[in-house]
Amino acid sequence: MAYRPTPNTEARKAQIRARLLKEGLALVSQGGFKTVTIGSVAKAAEVATGTVYRHFTSKTHLCTEIFQLGTEREVSKVRDTLAQEGDIATLLESATRVFMGRAIKGRTLAYAMIAEAVDEELDEERRRYREIWADTYVPILQRGIDSGVLPAQSAALSAVGLVGAMAETLVGPLSPSTRHFDVSQLTDAMVAFCLRAVGAKS
């Protein structure tokens, strides 16, 4: 008879996997993807290295899922902000401030997600998530266009532009070599740029 995992066994496996990802994300938050190895994650999660390999086939596989976990968490914060009540300009401003504020607060993690040198597979995942980030902005932009609050434009293209501008603007300030910068000035400038870019009246 073939072995069939019990519900308790499956739940235990899921808990271990979640812990590995949580500890991996914590390592990235502290020192970037360069600090993530099978061994470092195993040590942080207090399991054997063989346990990590039972859940992830390689370091790249592990890092890719860590990236997904971290990015999904950030996307959800912006998505929740855009889903709130309010006029288009206010919601876009709030979402921009959430995006910028969370990145600056967790600058090591944000830099790793946006700009750290990584292998090709993880970089491809980064490009895929840029599209997911952009898709988060499309509904509100389209609503603004349809209602006449925003001028006629491609919601999809404008969304890509907004996300790209925010990400690229953050690369320098978030870099480990950058010591000091005016957080409020940078955020205010980004808000003003994003609103102007889509034709929103603040």
CATH at 83:
1.10.357.10
Give a yes or no: residue 108 inside a domain. yes
The confidence band for 2, taking pLDDT boundaries of 50, 70 and 90, is: low
pLDDT at 1: 47
Phi-psi region of 123 (alpha: psi -120 to 50; beta: other; left: phi over 0): alpha
Q: How many residues does the chain have?
A: 202
Residue 109 resides in a domain = yes
Domain hosting residue 64, numbered range:
60-198
Task: Read off the pTM.
Answer: 0.89
- Residue-wise pLDDT for 103-144, tens only, equals 999 999 999 999 999 999 999 999 999 999 999 999 999 999
Q: Let me know if residue 150 belongs to a domain.
A: yes
Q: Residue 138's closest CA among 126, 150, 127, 128?
A: 150
**Does the residue 24 lie in any domain?**
no
Decide if 155 is inside a domain.
yes
Q: Which has the closest alpha carbon to 101: 191, 15, 178? A: 191
- Indicate whether 137 belongs to any domain: yes
Q: What is the mean pLDDT of residues 167-192?
A: 91
Confidence of residue 201 (pLDDT cuts 50, 70, 90): confident
Average the pLDDT over 2-11 and give the result. 72
CA distance 126 to 110: 12
Q: What is the pLDDT of residues 173-183, one digit of tens each?
A: 999 888 788 99
* Average confidence score pLDDT of the chain: 93
Q: What percent of the chain has pLDDT over 70?
A: 97
Q: What's the total number of domains in the chain?
A: 1
pLDDT value of residue 6: 75
Chain segment 26-58, per-residue pLDDT in tens: 999 999 999 999 999 999 999 999 999 999 999
Contact 178, 172 (CB under 8 A): yes
